[in-house]
Structure 1
Amino acid sequence: MRRNPPDAPPSPTSPGRAGPLAALRASREFRALWVSNVFFFGGAWTQTMVLGWIVFDTTGSEFLLAVFTAVRLAPMLLGPLAGVLSDRHDRVRLLTIACGWALGAAVVLSALESTGQVPYWALVLGGLAIGLAQSPSQPARSALVLSLVGRRHLSNANALNAMAMNMTQVLGPALGGALISAFGAAAALWISAAWYGLSLLALRPLRRARLSRGAELPHADESLRDMLVGGIRHILRSRLATGVLGVTLAANVLLWPVYQAFMPVFAQESLGLDADGLGWLLTCSGVGGLVGSTVIAALGDFPFKGGLFVFGTAGWAALWGAFSLSHQVAVSFALMAGIGLLSAAFGVLQTTLLLMTTEPAVQGRALGVQELAIGVMPVSSLVLGAAAEYAGVATTTFVSALILVAFLACLALRMPALWRYRGV
């Protein structure tokens, strides 16, 4: 008997809104995944701030900070392979392995920092180990959402996941900066290790539910190479999916490396902030992102998904350009809150639109290609780091923001179907 897939389109009579917590109410398993994500992202955001601060504080070099960031983000290049594994294997088991690996890597790095100042090469290797846990697990983490909540609640669920990330972006950097100021970097790293442990414990209900995807996906006898090549060909036949991936690629080439690598530089050189101040600067972005994600979650299955994605991302880029010119602490904090607010349009909808414009059988691989588009950040971080060493971080960021706004304007003119897309 033919089974109705969990991501089947909602009926025309389904209401578009069901409250900002609709997906959490609809699925007990999604609640478990969401709690796990809260702790996993908490560990990731704390480490992003603390390790970046340690590297720049010990080296004083924008380029070495960019090298560290590039190595930490390099596992994103494994996105297509991770997508194949997500379509082929039990996604809950993949997340369990990722959490366990992250916990082990964080404990080792924390222990090394506790013994004294960690050399630069050890920080680079530690960042790589943690990146190997975080990035390759993302296709399984995102694809599992659709299996748990269905198409109707997909935007809501992705917005709730973005809220989880932004809540931890609020708490993690602020906590990390405060701990560095009060107790030192080692304490902040131990806190992040504990968050990974809690994330692993939160996955237990999903493991007990035995939510294996193996029985649903006809790929048991297909080679990894055939799955990879066939999946990419299938994805690229969708013009809308290609447009979404193009926006993801452009944003991660031009501006996301700035946030990932150069915020300690803005804090120290442009605004004169210490570690605690950097933490609060990043917290402003998290607060803005949390508000934006809450708004998208409350909208439910709203009709103007494509427009919010394209024009919201353009506004996000414009605010980055303004932030790069600011030397006033209060103005910069406000701009960073606005950047976080509009980042929700990009962060939530890039995954939602990609899942909606691809077939269920290749959605893991589509998310893997998305992870590869995000994975250009190691290379772009090096390029932007070299540019910042020559022209300065502010000038580099301003030019990158202008280029992204121009790209999105051209895309809106050449592909109006993307910004008019309603999710049908």
Structure 2
Amino acid sequence: MSSAFGEVFRSLRVRDFRLFVLGQIVSVAGTWMMVVAQDWLVLGLTRGSASALGTVTALQFAPLLLLTLYGGRLADRYDKRALLTVANVVSCAVALMLAVLVLAGEVRLWHVYVFACALGVVNSVEVPARMAFVGELVGSDLLPNASALSAAYFNVARVVGPALSGLFISVAGVGWVMLVNAVSYAATVVALRLMSGSAGRARRDGDRVRVREGLKAAGRFDLMVPLVLVAVVALFGLNFQLTLPLLASQVHHADASTFGVVTAVFAAGSLVAAMMTTLRRGRPSARLVAGAAIAFGLLETAVGVVSSYGPSMVLLFLTGGMSIFFAQAANHRIQLGVAPELRGRVLALYTLILQGSTPLGALLVGTLAEHWGVRWGFLVGGVISLAAGLVAIAVERDDSATPPPAEAAVRERSGHRTRP
């Protein structure tokens, strides 16, 4: 038992990664408290408008479409720890301003729109820097484990945050939840400044860092297929920031506390799946990634069909688990197929595809839910994700036809250094 426990948490033996995880748990819990509070605020300001909620979600993720590739370039060129510190300080300031407006009773819908867009700009730099920083903290051998543990703490926070947010909203109101979120960013800043290692340092070799080098690396067939699959599933299937609050309010007629429970159940499934993937040691196969997309599509379709509260919660638990299993399998297949010095840019492309598609998906699903109901959002997303997984299996090539990750990394590294 102790051996298995050690395997699951082996990357936590690295001191700086332990500090990072502790800071992130607090900060991400605050973020998920904020997500619930923001959605509840929008629903209250607009009397339950699905399209307004879709607009907020779209504005929060729209900057990723424009800036994430540049954020990946920054991550590969500059000190990642400094970038992450600045990003968290700015996020704290923006969250604090919105909290003050809410507490003063002066908040308007356009304030929420501006806040969502500003947070999206910060995230376009923070996300690729954070993902690449984890790899540098622990090294390639521990990367799958550390990445899975990162997903695990993210989902621990996604379980705890919404539950606490529902309680706080019921007792104290939305404004105090937003204030707690603003303070929570300090945990990550403190953890980053306490680190003693050299991870995340700026490049010293004088090479120029070009976005197109990351795009060229991502053009390999073994990376392109999972990236396209992620694009389709993210656009149509991974719109839970929008569909979960609508499911809670339209189908289950939930109050604030029950709304938090619905989000927490989904996150609990994600947490279980994230812990399972900590045992992964190598690069996932293309068939595993496609199979995960198929299973996710089936489960999400079932959520759209079932209306009873109990079975719906079970299906949400399973859907949450399969969503993170799919995302982690795709993430590991992509990360472990490129050279370390290209990871910031390739992960920026992955982030652009995974999260940058959210504005389009949110507007599409928001419109669908507005006219036909939220169940159709789940049904359409599930069926398209299922079809995408089947197509990915149909076009799959034998992994032996592509260079192994280590060899591919050497080739990309060589090409990178000889480029004028």
Scaled by the length of structure 2, the TM-score of the pair is 0.89
Distance 1:183 1:247, change over 3 A: same
Alignment: residue pair count: 400
Residue type of the partner of 2:57?
Answer: T
Question: Aligned-pair distance for 1:173?
Answer: 0.7
Match of 2:413? none
Instruction: Report the aligned-residue RMSD.
Output: 2.3
Counterpart among 322, 334, 342 of residue 322 in structure 2:
342
Distance 1:127 1:363, change over 3 A: same
Aligned residue runs from structure 1 range 57-136, under 5 A: 57-59=44-46, 60-77=48-65, 78-116=67-105, 118-136=107-125
Question: Aligned-pair distance for 1:200?
Answer: 1.4
Aligned residue runs from structure 1 range 23-422, under 5 A: 23-25=11-13, 27-59=14-46, 60-77=48-65, 78-116=67-105, 118-206=107-195, 208-215=196-203, 218=205, 220=206, 222=208, 227-236=210-219, 238-257=220-239, 259-297=240-278, 299-302=279-282, 304-374=284-354, 375-417=356-398
Residue type of the partner of 2:202?
Answer: G
Higher deviation after alignment, 380-389 or 274-283: 380-389
CA distance in 1, matches of 2:348, 2:306: 36
Question: Aligned-pair distance for 1:188?
Answer: 1.2
Question: Aligned-pair distance for 1:309?
Answer: 2.6
**Matched-pair contact (CA < 8 Å) for 2:23–2:188:** yes
CA distance in 2, matches of 1:305, 1:285: 26
CA distance in 1, matches of 2:230, 2:283: 21
CA distance in 1, matches of 2:285, 2:177: 38
Distance 1:285 1:418, change over 3 A: farther
Question: Aligned-pair distance for 1:353?
Answer: 1.4
Post-superposition CA distance 1:199-229 (Å, at most 9, x none)? 21121223x445343246x4x452x6xx012
Q: Which runs of 5+ in 2 are unaligned?
A: 407-420
Distance 1:305 1:37, change over 3 A: farther
Question: Aligned-pair distance for 1:334?
Answer: 1.1
CA distance in 2, matches of 1:420, 1:153: 26
Question: Aligned-pair distance for 1:420?
Answer: 11
Post-superposition CA distance 1:120-147 (Å, at most 9, x none)? 0001111222222334211111111221
Residue type of the partner of 2:257?
Answer: D
CA distance in 1, matches of 2:314, 2:83: 39
**Matched-pair contact (CA < 8 Å) for 2:338–2:405:** no
CA distance in 2, matches of 1:69, 1:419: 41
Residue type of the partner of 1:39?
Answer: V
Q: Which runs of 5+ in 1 are unaligned?
A: 1-14
Q: Secondary structure at the match of 1:332?
A: helix
CA distance in 1, matches of 2:401, 2:315: 28
Distance 1:117 1:417, change over 3 A: farther
**Matched-pair contact (CA < 8 Å) for 1:240–1:417:** no
Post-superposition CA distance 1:338-393 (Å, at most 9, x none)? 11211221232222211111222211110111121120211221122222222222
Question: Aligned-pair distance for 1:112?
Answer: 0.9
CA distance in 1, matches of 2:4, 2:138: 14
**Matched-pair contact (CA < 8 Å) for 1:17–1:300:** no
Residue type of the partner of 1:243?
Answer: V
**Matched-pair contact (CA < 8 Å) for 2:250–2:374:** no
CA distance in 2, matches of 1:38, 1:423: 31
Distance 1:83 1:125, change over 3 A: same
Residue type of the partner of 2:37?
Answer: V
Residue type of the partner of 2:233?
Answer: A
Post-superposition CA distance 1:257-297 (Å, at most 9, x none)? 2x011322111111111111110011011111111111111
Distance 1:369 1:419, change over 3 A: farther
CA distance in 1, matches of 2:369, 2:282: 40
Higher deviation after alignment, 142-151 or 303-312: 303-312
Residue type of the partner of 2:223?
Answer: A
Question: Aligned-pair distance for 1:186?
Answer: 0.9
CA distance in 2, matches of 1:410, 1:373: 18
Scaled by the length of structure 1, the TM-score of the pair is 0.89
Q: Secondary structure at the match of 2:7?
A: coil
**Matched-pair contact (CA < 8 Å) for 1:16–1:301:** no
Question: Aligned-pair distance for 1:419?
Answer: 12
Match of 1:4? none
